[in-house]
Amino acid sequence: MTVLADPHPPARRQRALFRILILVAVLTVCAIFLGYQTRGFSDVASAIFSYDPTSADDVVLRDIRIPRIIGALLGGAALGASGALLQAMTRNPLADPGILGVNAGAAVGVVLSIIILGITNPAQYVWSALIGCAVTSTLVFLIGGSKNANPMRLLIAGATVMVVSLAAIRAILLLSRQTLDTYRFWVLGGLDGVTYDMVLALAPFLVAGAVLTVVCSFWLNALVLGVEMARGLGLRIWLVQLTTLVAVVLLCGATVSMAGPVAFVGLISAHIARGFAGGDAKWLVLLSACLGAALLLGADLIGRLAMFGGNMQAGVMSAIIGGPVLIWMVRRQWPTHT
Amino acid sequence: MIAHLPFISIDVHARPAIVKLVLASLALLLAITALRFGTYPLSTDTILRHLFIGGDGIERVIVIEHRLPRILVAVGAGMAVGLAGALFQTMLRNPLASPDWIGFTPGASFGALLAMYLTGGHIILGALAGTFVAATIVLGHSMQGGLNIQRLIIIGIGANLTIAAGADLLLARVDLLTAADMAKWLVGSLNGRDWTDVALIWVGLAVLLPLALWLEFPLRTMMLTDDVARGQGIAVSATRIWVAITGVLLVALGVCVAGPLPFVAFLCGPIAKALEGGSRPALFSAALIGAIVVLAADYIARLTPLVQLPAGVFTALIGGPYLLWLLVTMARKGRIT
Amino acid sequence: MLKHVGIAVLVSTMLAGAARADFPVSIPHAFGTTDVPARPDRVVSISLIGHDFLLALGVTPIALRKWYGTDPYGVWPWAQDDLGDATPVVMQGEIDVEQIALLKPDLIIAQWSGMSQSEYRILSMIAPTLGPKPGAGDYGTPWQDMLRRIGMATGTLDQAEEIVSGLDNRFAEFRDSQSNWQGTTATMAWSGSVGAYTRHDLRGQFLEALGFVIPQAIEDLAGSNEFYATIAAEDYSPLDVDALFWLDTGGQAAKLQALPLRFTTRAYHEGREIHIDPLLSAALSHSSPQSLHFALDAVVPLIEAAMDGDPATPVPTSLAAGIAP
């Protein structure tokens, strides 16, 4: 892609960023007030300023909704950033951690930790999720190749790894009744049960991932100029790719251990963000992260409403909505040639 | 070598013919072994007597009602699924594009699961309906002046994810005992197969196998690029649609009788091609390899003493590592697309 | 004269008792009818909990199908005494037709087993096979009916009735002795994604047999799945009961402590929560005569500690699990 005439002037990006941040703020406020039961301003104020641990209302607001909102924002941002990074690195507009099997790898890690180590507390899944993520991502990139020969290759490699992971998981579930019982609720993906402790425990991973993301987005911009140019600038391609992969693993692994496997968020947010950011990887990642936060927050908010029984998991919603959205995106992507 | 028969001359290549013969013999040998040896000891005399002369008692039950239908279903399902895999791999020109992960097999198994959940039965209808809905959506949205392969693969992958989420949702909605039964089914099993299943799969194969083999001719030419094929007068689009329909039906039937056996659809095509050499799609060999794999997996499943796991676990154990190894070597040789 | 009449009456009564035909017996079930021609000697159980029932009736199966756990012969602690020195063949996983045929059974017990119609067809050709009671689904039949049907099939119906009335009496005794608890609410719930069993589930039925009432709110929440209801993360009002049982199938005490809303419930404050450890949870899930006796032995003192509504008298298991207030 040429960088001659940039159709995305900086002002447009900034406006987009501003608007998205407003959206996030609005959603956050809604998420505080809305839920199984709508709370009023005074309820919120009393929960924050005159917290009464025996009052169910206060506990709902301060210990359930707010950590969940924080989790949704961080997790959504992580997913959005990962999607953008992957898309920028592979120059493939359909890259997404879920499609590339990253979530599936984390799920395998989690299942193994349930059956071998007997861990049933989601807060303790983070290491197994991270290791699982790392293994599958490495496999996918080994197989799918880092040479930009054909975008299909990566996707197919991701699908393959996903299928292998899924088969392994299903076979393991036959061996242990308790694993089945724990896994089948976790796999739906959702921010149910997110607490401050969990967020704090995962924060180091998210922060590390965020730092690497920033570094990568600068490097990826250089790659856009072309591989040769980048090498001339002293950039080692393999290092860029490795760092991106590590960033994605950290971000996604932490998010999956907190919220279970959530698919399509990265894909959708990166796709929309590209409309505003164009080819600039920094802006792509930034806008995608903010949009991802908004998306996950929105999904969680809807899931908490009473009309769905107050317990519709965000992961299920994203999978069911994401499918048609993917179809729509693909139809737009390849409208002309076979 | 050219074989001159009355009215028709057939160009017969030696190696593919030998491969097919060997595979068929292997399948037959395996089937006979599976019939002869099992947990319940039976002598060859007994088996032959019950097969051809008739008899009654427990021995007859084991031979005629238990082993024979199970073996026949294994062979039939294996052929159907192997064939479907090879068909799609050839049409999509990619050894990794298997119905397992463009949403067809998951669609079939989810449809069957849903039917079980809602009505407690009607698995056949559920599987067929599920496959057709998945295929219609995936294929329908990939059509754009003909079948756009790239679209097909991506939408298929997305369909996989969505359907898997649906199955997971179902597993979480039922009580644990039903979930355990369903989970068993999601892995593919040949336990409890009877003669109705045999009839179903073999009637289907009787129609679809010749159709697939007939489609091999245009497919062979289409393996390079569409233009070459069109130049030879082949209706590329129509062929693809026929291939898709045949493949979808084969998948649905296979899942109906044996559940979604992992990796079988993927494995057979590449192995068959490698064995036969050359660049022919080797559909019939793929079918035979499918039969061998499923038969072997079910036999192992039957023989494990006291802990009976479904056959799907063993196809996963065979197929999974093989798939990974194949992918890594293909990647190294740069031959993925 | 009278002595002779008396002896005649006595003898004829004895003869009449001995001549009452237990066999042959026909028992209808969901897949057909089981005809048992004579008292069975070799009984194979492919029911996941059938071995408990058989052992309670004094019938030792020659083979059984293990459900889960690491106990010897797949028999849980509450039925080990009944098992004694017997060494049945232990099967696991899918139904292994050839293994069963090899054992030459006279009767196959297949209630509560997940057996399909086609598996029944083959098994019934090997031996009379007792399927689930029609109408309730494979896992929905009350234990009393399952026990009676096994009793009929093995010629131990009298013992079955004794056991049923024994347990019924025990429940009735409990209800009478704790009459002030009758009509109070209770529920069995689990953490993770919090859910609670309804009265259609055998654990809910256990509570109702004790005289408790499961709150209507939980029944309403159950929706399409009748056996349990999912409790909304932000609304624990359905869990406002007088006795709250937390079922722990392994390592969930920590999860319970991480549920913020739980600390606002009345059940928590008044020390009315009862932590059910994995063994007791399994006993409740099995719902067999021995496991029910076991469960009652364990649970009654816990309920007493919980129902006084005084957090100063902690429920021992909740204290041990670390979830007591």
Q: Round to whole Å and give the CA distance between B266 and A271.
A: 31
Let me know if residue C170 belongs to a domain: no
- Per-residue pLDDT of A143-197, as tens digits, reads 776 555 466 777 778 888 888 888 888 888 888 887 888 888 888 878 887 888 8
Domain tally, chain C = 2
Mutate to test the interface with C, among A37, A62, A119, A120 (most CBs of C within 10 A): A120
A303's tokens = 């899931």
Contact between C263 and A309 using a beta-carbon 8 Å cutoff: no
Residue C100 shares a structural domain with residue C194: no
If you count residue pairs, one on B and one on C, with CB atoms under 8 Å apart, how many are there?
77
Query: Which of these, C213, C215, C212, lies nearest to C303 by C-alpha position?
Result: C212
Mean pLDDT across B178-187: 83
Candidate from A167, A185, A327 with C-beta closest to B172: A185
Contact between C249 and A121 using a beta-carbon 8 Å cutoff: no
pLDDT at A251: 94
Chain A residues with beta carbon closer than 8 angstroms to that of B312: 170-171
Label residue B43 exposed, middle or buried (CB < 10 Å: 0-12, 13-18, 19+). Answer: exposed
Residue C45 shares a structural domain with residue C153: yes
Pairing of strands C243-247, C273-276: parallel
| Distance (Å) of CA C205 to CA B210, C140, C196 | 57, 11, 13
Domain boundary among C99, C129, C164: C164
Mean pLDDT across B36-60: 86
Mutate to test the interface with C, among A39, A57, A58, A59 (most CBs of C within 10 A): A59
Let me know if residue C12 belongs to a domain: no
- Per-residue pLDDT of A231-261, as tens digits, reads 666 667 778 888 888 999 999 999 988 888 8
Candidate from B41, B175, B306 with C-beta closest to C90: B306
Residue C47 shares a structural domain with residue C137: yes
Residue C112 shares a structural domain with residue C192: no
Residue type, B331: A
pLDDT at C110: 94
Residue C31 shares a structural domain with residue C54: yes
Find all residues with CB under 8 Å of C105, minimum gap 6, and list them.
Answer: C40, C42, C43, C44, C62, C63, C126, C127
In total, chain A counts a number of residues equal to: 338
Q: Longest C-alpha distance within chain B, in Å?
A: 65
Find all residues with CB under 8 Å of B334, minimum gap 6, and list them.
Answer: A145, A149
For residue A337, pLDDT beyond 50: no
Instruction: For residue B34, name the pLDDT band (cuts at 50, 70, 90).
Output: very high
Chain C residues with beta carbon closer than 8 angstroms to that of A259: none
Residue type, B99: P
**Taking an 8 Å Cβ-Cβ cutoff, which residues of chain B contact chain C?**
38-41, 58, 61-62, 65-66, 120, 173-175, 177-178, 180-181, 184, 189, 191-194, 301-302, 305-310
Q: Round to whole Å and give the CA distance between A309 and A312.
A: 7
Q: What is the DSSP string of A181-206?
A: HHHHHHTT---TT--HHHHHHHHHHH
Q: Give the three-state DSSP class for C187.
A: strand
Give the start-to-end residue ranges of the domains of chain B. 23-333
CA C26 remoteness from chain centre? 25
| DSSP structure class, residue C246 | E
Residue C184 shares a structural domain with residue C317: yes
For residue A8, pLDDT beyond 80: no
Domain boundary among C130, C164, C198: C164
- Per-residue pLDDT of C39-54, as tens digits, reads 999 999 999 999 999 9
| Range C198-202 contact pairs with CB under 8 angstroms and sequence separation of 24 or more | C198/C222, C198/C226, C198/C227, C198/C228, C198/C229, C200/C140, C200/C226, C200/C227, C201/B175, C201/C226, C201/C227, C201/C228, C202/C142, C202/C143, C202/C284, C202/C285, C202/C287
pLDDT at B198: 94
Ranked by mean pLDDT, the top range of A118-122, B140-144, B167-171, B304-308 is B167-171
- Per-residue pLDDT of A89-135, as tens digits, reads 877 777 888 888 888 899 899 899 888 887 777 667 888 899 999 99
**Chains in contact with chain C (at least 3 beta-carbon pairs closer than 8 A):** A, B
Higher per-residue pLDDT: B95 or C285:
C285
How far is A260 from chain B, CA to nearest CA, in Å?
12
Q: What is the mean pLDDT of chain A?
A: 82
Does A306 reach chain C within 8 Å, measured CB to CB?
yes
Instruction: For residue A310, name the pLDDT band (cuts at 50, 70, 90).
Output: low
Higher per-residue pLDDT: C285 or A141:
C285
Location of structure tokens 């409309």:
A275
* Alpha-carbon Rg for chain B in angstroms: 20
| Distance (Å) of CA A193 to CA A68, A307, B257 | 8, 20, 41
Search chain A and give the residue with CA nearest C92.
Answer: A175
pLDDT at A226: 65
Is the Cβ–Cβ distance between A301 and A240 less than 8 Å?
Answer: no
Let me know if residue C73 belongs to a domain: yes
Residue C222 shares a structural domain with residue C313: yes
How far is B58 from chain C, CA to nearest CA, in Å?
6
How far is A139 from chain B, CA to nearest CA, in Å?
8
Contact between A60 and C252 using a beta-carbon 8 Å cutoff: no
| DSSP structure class, residue A311 | -
pLDDT at B337: 42
Label residue C158 exposed, middle or buried (CB < 10 Å: 0-12, 13-18, 19+). Answer: exposed
Chain C residues with beta carbon closer than 8 angstroms to that of B62: 97-98, 101
CATH code for the domain of C148: 3.40.50.1980
Contact between B308 and C97 using a beta-carbon 8 Å cutoff: no
Mean pLDDT across C255-271: 84
Q: Which CATH class is domain B23-333?
A: mainly alpha
Mean pLDDT across A315-331: 82
pLDDT at A3: 47
**In three state form, how does the secondary structure of C67-78 look?**
CCCCCHHHCCHH
Q: ω into residue B210 within 30 of 0, thus cis?
A: no
pLDDT at B30: 95
Chain B residues with beta carbon closer than 8 angstroms to that of C225: 173-175
Mutate to test the interface with C, among B66, B114, B190 (most CBs of C within 10 A): B66
Instruction: For residue A2, name the pLDDT band (cuts at 50, 70, 90).
Output: very low
pLDDT above 90 covers a percentage of chain C that reads 41
Instruction: For residue B158, name the pLDDT band (cuts at 50, 70, 90).
Output: confident
Interface of C with A in 38-67 (CB under 8 A): 67
pTM equals 0.85
Please give the residue range of the domain that contains residue C56.
Answer: 21-164
Mean pLDDT across B244-256: 90
Chain B residues with beta carbon closer than 8 angstroms to that of A263: 161, 165
Let me know if residue C233 belongs to a domain: yes
Query: Which of these, A251, A260, A259, A301, lies nearest to A84 by C-alpha position?
Result: A251
Contact between C235 and A36 using a beta-carbon 8 Å cutoff: yes
Is the Cβ–Cβ distance between B263 and B2 less than 8 Å?
Answer: no
Does C279 reach chain A within 8 Å, measured CB to CB?
no
| DSSP structure class, residue B227 | H
Let me know if residue C248 belongs to a domain: yes
Does A164 reach chain B within 8 Å, measured CB to CB?
yes
**C-beta atoms surrounding B298 within 10 Å:** 30
Contact between B309 and C118 using a beta-carbon 8 Å cutoff: no
- Per-residue pLDDT of C293-324, as tens digits, reads 999 999 988 888 888 777 777 788 887 877 77
- Per-residue pLDDT of B220-232, as tens digits, reads 888 777 777 777 7
Pairing of strands C43-45, C107-109: parallel
Residue C89 shares a structural domain with residue C45: yes
- Per-residue pLDDT of C206-240, as tens digits, reads 998 888 888 888 888 887 667 888 888 788 888 88
Residue C148 shares a structural domain with residue C189: no
Q: Round to whole Å and give the CA distance between B159 and B170.
A: 16
Is the Cβ–Cβ distance between A183 and A110 less than 8 Å?
Answer: yes
Let me know if residue C5 belongs to a domain: no
Q: Round to whole Å and give the CA distance between C23 and C19.
A: 11
Residue C209 shares a structural domain with residue C100: no
pLDDT at A151: 64
Residue C37 shares a structural domain with residue C158: yes
Contact between C263 and A53 using a beta-carbon 8 Å cutoff: yes
If you count residue pairs, one on A and one on B, with CB atoms under 8 Å apart, how many are there?
160
Query: Which of these, C268, C276, C325, lies nearest to C298 by C-alpha position?
Result: C276
Q: What is the mean pLDDT of chain B?
A: 85
Contact between B327 and A160 using a beta-carbon 8 Å cutoff: yes
pLDDT at A233: 64
**Chains in contact with chain A (at least 3 beta-carbon pairs closer than 8 A):** B, C
Instruction: For residue B336, name the pLDDT band (cuts at 50, 70, 90).
Output: very low
Mutate to test the interface with B, among A94, A111, A142, A156 (most CBs of B within 10 A): A156
Is the Cβ–Cβ distance between B67 and B35 less than 8 Å?
Answer: yes
For residue B128, pLDDT beyond 90: no
Domain boundary among C111, C131, C164: C164
Contact between C232 and A59 using a beta-carbon 8 Å cutoff: no
Let me know if residue C278 belongs to a domain: yes
Let me know if residue C173 belongs to a domain: no
B132's tokens = 């057709």
Q: Round to whole Å and give the CA distance between A163 and A143.
A: 14
Query: Which of these, A60, A28, A97, A31, lies nearest to A254 by C-alpha position?
Result: A97
Does C225 reach chain B within 8 Å, measured CB to CB?
yes
Contact between C252 and A56 using a beta-carbon 8 Å cutoff: no
